[in-house]
Amino acid sequence: MVHATTTASHLAAWQSRAGTLPPVLADALAVCAQNGVNERECGDVLDLLAMLGCDAQTQAAALWFEVARTHPLVWEQRAASVPEELQRLVAGQMAAERVWALHAQRPPEGGSEGLRRLLLAIIRDVRVVFILLARQLARMRAAGSLPEDERQELARLTRDIHSPLANRLGIWQLKWELEDLAFRYLQSDTYRRIAKLLDERRSDREHFIRQALTELGEALRAADIRADLAGRPKHIYSIWKKMQRKAVEFSDLYDIRAVRVLVDSVSDCYAALGIVHALWPHLPGEFDDYVARPKSNGYRSLHTAVIGPHGKTLEVQIRTHDMHRANELGVAAHWRYKEGGSGDADFEAKIAWMRKLLEPRNDDGELAAELQTELLEDRVYVLTPRGEVVDMPHGATVLDFAYHVHTEVGHRCRGAKVNGRIVPLTHQPHSGDRVEILTTKVGEPRRDWLSPHHGYLHTSRARDKVRAWFRRSAHEANLAAGRALLERELKRMALPDVDLAKLPAMVHLQTQDELLVGLALGEISPGQVTRLLQESQQPHEPPLSTPLPAARPTVFDHSAITIEGVGNLLTVLGKCCQPLPGDPVRGFITRTRGVSVHRANCTSLARLARRDPDRVIEVSWGHADAQAYEVTIQLNGYDRKGLQKDVVGVISNANIGIIASSSRLFPRTGEVEMRYTLRVRDFEQLSALLDRLAALPNVVEARRVGAG
């Protein structure tokens, strides 16, 4: 039967040697002595943390949390005098209490993986996990005296949260005992049946392992093979799990007892295998060579089963020290191999980082620095009103959450609460936030939810659901919506009349109707269409009596403009038309300012070309990403208090500089016209800015000023 392998000492055993302990731990012990705490549990936790090699700060934080839990007023009075590092460790344990409460509230069919991930997401210091595991084991050891319902809930929490975490972190000393204790209380009849089948006490099995290690060690030394040997008996929960996984009876298991052999080289692996088979009879069909043929996850080891001392079966695993380290910390981490599962790469990387901190380290300063590093998390784990955990990518909004819950919830969503507070649909919740979606009885999504500039939806899954809704709507309505979007974009970007006939083929479509439907469904953005138009459009020939000179072959880069046919001259952008990257452009060689670059349809350029046609040259845009360009935009709307402040705020938040501004108010109608001359990076930045400005209250139109 399961029993504690370490002496569950009372706290007095630690307090008696407080004079030899670090001050931070001695102070915590003194506070515990002054205020009643569960001495047996606290002493057991300290013993387990010491076995894990945890530092004095970790042990002290475990004691301070017990004080904070049982005597909150004492903690409130003393917290300010406690080092900041300990305060963070105590706060992490308090945060974990939220997960325990959520576990108790979850529906019977609810999964626990989300809660395990939420736990790691809200804990910023891996040492908190060690404390949580040690405290849970101490409580499980004493669970026999608890009422049945409390014992069952504690065992379920251990099975769902703590045992898998101990397994994933590789803390085997705690993992097996947590698993066995939880199994003992949750499935007591099965536990007793397997214990009886073992037909021996655990101490007898441990004696068998020691005898096997002695015999094998002597045989390896006689063969001059240097090896480190270790072993432990299989535990009752592990035996039951393998019986379930392989669908076999107890008598068909050959690895109830196992030993591990670590050697220096691959050749020593096979030499040790020969020694094992010479020492004990080999069981046919029970040999796996994962050294020559590693598992798909990179796991490498030799596995064999033999008839060991006293005629009992024994599994032997043989590998090099390097293989062992790789198996423990690499892509073939033991928890992956044992659980047979596969998680997302970001989560596995986080677990691997945490496990590396378990390695002995000579540089205490380096270890402390790593412990202070916040764990990066690319997922957020938010809660439904019922306490269920929803896993979403970082950057997801409450509207993404609504669609994750159910498609109809997303369609009918008109608001959201986070932790009881009303938030906009673009709000991005954090791990641990509780999200409630406010819906209407009959609703439908809005087309602007598909616009990336508005920031409503982050996940492609939610966007696909919105598109599917609009795709099911009337075909004519989609055509009209797409046509309106395109006309609006052409107008606000001050583009001339263009031929749309070539556009469908440029986006791999057959007809203009397909293009318009794609615009309506958000599969193609209006900015993408206008950019393609600009890139494909040949410059319009101005009405010149003399043809423009042919382009000469010399081509070179200057800033973001490529000038054809001239040397390295200064280039300036024409203020009359303010061309942007993507606009069809031509250049005019001035007498004093180098080459003046204009939009191809600029009326000023046409006048200059009629007067001096030989000075008109071909130019094209280059690729200087950091170049800024002047452009004038105009906003029309109705005046209100703070309107200009909001407009300037949107421009500033977009990291766009304002060169000049002017506004004009029409008192009789309340209308206002605002103009801003800006320095923008490129066409895409301007398009996104106009989207955000047009979304401001009282703004009717935001567009680029046309050519002069």
pLDDT tops 80 at residue 247: no
Q: How many helices (H) and strands (E) does the chain have?
A: 29, 20
**Given this model, what pLDDT does residue 327 score?**
58
| Token pair belonging to 325 | 């380290």
Residue 610 is inside which H or E element, if any?
helix 603-611
Q: What angle do CA 658, 660, 664 make, to 5 degrees?
A: 120
pLDDT bucket at 673, cuts 50 / 70 / 90:
very high
Q: What percent of the chain has pLDDT over 90?
A: 19
Tell me what pLDDT residue 361 has: 43
Q: What's the confidence (pLDDT) of residue 200?
A: 56
Gap between the Cα atoms of 555 and 567, Å rounded: 9
pLDDT of 349: 52
Task: Determine contact, residues 686/680, Cβ cutoff 8 Å.
Answer: yes
**Closest C-alpha among 332, 280, 271, 342 to residue 302:** 271
Confidence grade of residue 91 (pLDDT, cut at 50, 70, 90): confident
Decide: residue 581, CB within 10 A, 0-12 exposed, 13-18 middle, 19+ buried: buried
pLDDT score of 146 more than 60:
yes
**Within a 10 A sphere around the Cβ of 331, how many other Cβ atoms?**
14
Check whether 637 has a pLDDT greater than 50.
Answer: yes
pLDDT confidence tier of residue 302, bands split at 50, 70 and 90:
very high
Structure-token pair, residue 2:
């399961």
* Amino acid 116: pLDDT: 60
∠ CA 144-63-112, nearest 5°, is 55
558-606 pLDDT per residue, tens:
445 555 544 455 777 777 777 877 677 888 888 767 788 888 878 888 8
Would you say residue 357 has pLDDT above 70?
Answer: no
Of 303-312, 530-539, 580-589, give the range with the top mean pLDDT: 303-312
Q: Is the dihedral of CA 460, 463, 465, 471 positive or negative?
A: negative
Poorest-confidence range of 181-190, 494-503, 545-554, 662-671?
A: 545-554
Q: By the 8 A CB rule, do 96 and 123 touch?
A: yes
- Residue 377's pLDDT band (cuts 50, 70, 90): very low
Give the whole-angstrom CA distance, residue 203 versus residue 180.
15
Q: What is the pLDDT of residue 145?
A: 86
Residue 606 contacts residue 539 (beta carbons within 8 Å): no
Distance of alpha carbon 134 from alpha carbon 45, whole angstroms: 5
Residue 565: per-residue pLDDT: 47
The pLDDT-based confidence of 410 (bands split at 50, 70, 90) is very high
Does residue 36 surpass a pLDDT of 90?
no
- The structure tokens 């596969």 sit at 342
- pLDDT for 202: 61
pLDDT score, position 37: 83
Taking the C-alpha atoms of residue 333 and residue 444, their distance in angstroms, rounded to an integer, is 47
**Is the pLDDT confidence value at 531 over 80?**
no
d(CA 457, CA 460): 8
pLDDT of residue 341: 46
Neighbours of 380 (CB within 10 A): 22
- The C-alpha atoms of residue 628 and residue 681 are separated, in whole angstroms, by 5
pLDDT at 262 over 90: yes
Contact 179, 191 (CB under 8 A): no
Cα–Cα distance measured from residue 455 to residue 416, given in angstroms and rounded to the nearest whole number: 15
Q: What does the alpha-carbon distance between residue 38 and residue 602 come to, in Å, rounded to a whole number?
A: 84
Percent of all residues in the chain with a pLDDT value above 70, rounded to a whole number: 75
Give the pLDDT of residue 374.
Answer: 34
Q: Residue 475 — pLDDT band, cuts 50, 70, 90?
A: confident
Q: What is the mean pLDDT of the segment spanning 395-413? A: 92
Side chain identity at 247, as an amino acid letter? A
Q: Are 634 and 673 in contact (CB under 8 A)?
A: yes
Which token pair is 600? 């191809």
Mean pLDDT of 214-228: 93
Please state whether beta strands 595-599 and 571-573 pair in parallel, antiparallel, or not at all (unpaired).
parallel
Using the predicted structure, report yes or no on whether residue 218 has a pLDDT greater than 90: yes
Q: In the Cβ-directed half-sphere of 67, how many Cα atoms lie within 13 Å?
A: 26
pTM for this prediction: 0.50
Q: What is the mean pLDDT of the chain?
A: 77
Pick 233 or 429 by higher pLDDT: 429
**CA distances from residue 318 to 29, 263, 291, 325, 596 in whole angstroms, order as listed:** 45, 8, 9, 13, 76
Q: What is the DSSP letter of 692?
A: H
- Read off the pLDDT of each residue in 128-153 and give the average, rounded to a whole number: 89
* Mean pLDDT along residues 175-199: 84
Q: Which of 487, 480, 551 is nearest to 517 (CA)?
A: 480
Q: Which residue has the higher pLDDT, 399 or 312?
A: 399
pLDDT range class, residue 351, cuts 50, 70, 90: low
How many C-beta atoms surround the C-beta of residue 348 within 10 A? 16
Residue tagged 């569960």 (tokens): 38
Mean local confidence (pLDDT), 209-223: 92
Average of per-residue pLDDT across 264-268: 91
Residue 589, SS3 per DSSP = strand
Summarize the confidence of residues 694-705 as an average pLDDT. Answer: 88
- In degrees, to the nearest 5, what angle opens at C-alpha 90 toward C-alphas 158 and 88? 125
Taking the C-alpha atoms of residue 167 and residue 334, their distance in angstroms, rounded to an integer, is: 8
Higher pLDDT, 546 or 639: 639
3-class DSSP assignment, residue 671: strand
pLDDT value, residue 634: 92
- Asked whether 585 and 600 are in contact (CB, 8 A), the reply is yes
pLDDT the model gives residue 20: 86
